[in-house]
Amino acid sequence: MPGLELFGSSAPNMPAPTVVEVPVSSSASSINSVEMDQDEPSRKPGAYYNARLDPKNFLEGPLSLNPATRLRQMLARPGIVVAPGICDGISARCALEAGFECLYQSGAATTASRLGMPDLAIATLNDFVEAGAMHASLDPTVPVIADADTGFGGPAMVARTVTKYIRAGLAACHIEDQVQTKRCGHLMGKQVVSREEFITRIRAAVIARDSVPGGSDFVVIGRTDSAQVLGMEEAVTRLKLAADAGADVCFIEGVKTAELLTSTVAALAPKPVLVNVISGGLTPSFTCQEAEALGAKIIIFSLVSCVAAVHGIRAAMRSLKKTGTDFSSAQGMDPKAFFEVMGLNEVVTLDARAGGKAFEVV
């Protein structure tokens, strides 16, 4: 498979990743790799390093129109990246309308909205990719971070997952260390694979990203669910290994206290850390400001839209059942106002500019 030459060994039972540096691509010829090495005296020998993707390259200049590049710029610059969880086109439109500059496609929310099922490894790669392509298309400049569960199989399948996510226009994904019959990270009874299998998944994701013709800025996030199974020390160790294998961001699921989040950030520095906040879940309900003060670089609110949808739709259905009308639940929103949230005006304008006359009156 293309990209394997970036890694120093393909031996199956390596206890830790053996990775060589990736040469600077022609698109980044202005960056001298020798100078970059001199500026990186603390970089661990043998750890993955791609000079083209060094955070220093994303510190200046206008935000890119490419969502993956834009996400790297956001990660390299001051401020926390806030990504509300979206579950469908309606929730994505509402998040964009509210002004969010990054979105998160939750695996749990996708499974619920597309299949009406719980987050128990039921949704497939195709379910996630189809949802991701639609979400990413609504505003192609806004980064969408997407859950990729375990990568849906062995190394070849993980690589295929990342390739399909990139082609769908997604900016990033996270790959976790649960077993294939995984569950929501905030449920009990989780099981995780060995360190070696987890790192193999991360390596496969990085190889796939680096094999994209012309180069890709796609962000690979390593996620561990081992804190609740094997303890925080093991979780941090796994993410250090993931970072050495090329993960751009580290994600410990279920950090239970502010102190643990702070110590995790310190242990993994300078890698950015993602924290997942779910009301009633394992992690405290940190605000964006609190998470930033504790050192987190990305905060996601995985179920914010689908839980709100359950409450709102449930209330509307109960009201309709009781009163026989949807007047109160509509809250004065007529069909045109609803479609305006879905991009009606943009579509009508495009049609008119192209010479169409079908929507002169709507």
Distance CA 266, CA 227 (A): 16
Distance CA 188, CA 171 (A): 30
Mean pLDDT of the chain: 90
Report pLDDT digits (tens) over 189-203.
Answer: 999 999 999 999 999
Cα four-point dihedral sign 196, 8, 2, 58: positive
Find the range with the poorest average confidence among 37-41, 49-53, 141-145, 210-214: 37-41
Report pLDDT digits (tens) over 37-94.
Answer: 444 446 788 899 999 999 999 999 999 999 999 999 999 999 999 999 999 999 999 9
Report pLDDT digits (tens) over 274-315.
Answer: 999 998 888 999 999 999 999 999 999 999 999 999 999 999
Amino acid at 36: M
- pLDDT higher than threshold 90 for residue 332: yes
Q: What is the largest CA-CA distance in the chain?
A: 73
pTM for this structure? Answer: 0.89
Q: What is the pLDDT of residue 161?
A: 98
Q: What is the pLDDT of residue 6?
A: 52
Q: What is the pLDDT of residue 353?
A: 97
In sequence order, what are the residues at sequence separation of 6 or more whose Cβ sits closer than 8 angstroms to the Cβ of residue 308? none
Q: What is the pLDDT of residue 11?
A: 38
Q: What is the pLDDT of residue 43?
A: 72
State mean pLDDT over 208-232: 97
Report pLDDT digits (tens) over 234-275.
Answer: 999 999 999 999 999 999 998 999 999 999 999 999 999 999
Q: What is the pLDDT of residue 4?
A: 53
State mean pLDDT over 335-359: 96
Q: What is the pLDDT of residue 27?
A: 35
Q: What percent of the chain has pLDDT over 90?
A: 86
Q: What is the pLDDT of residue 163?
A: 98
Find the range with the poorest average confidence among 21-30, 246-255, 340-349: 21-30
State mean pLDDT over 178-182: 96
Q: What is the pLDDT of residue 10?
A: 37
Higher pLDDT, residue 169 or 15: 169
Enter the DSSP assignment of 24: P
Distance CA 119, CA 20 (A): 37
Q: What is the pLDDT of residue 210?
A: 98
Distance CA 66, CA 303 (A): 26
Q: Which residue has the tokens 């359950």?
A: 310
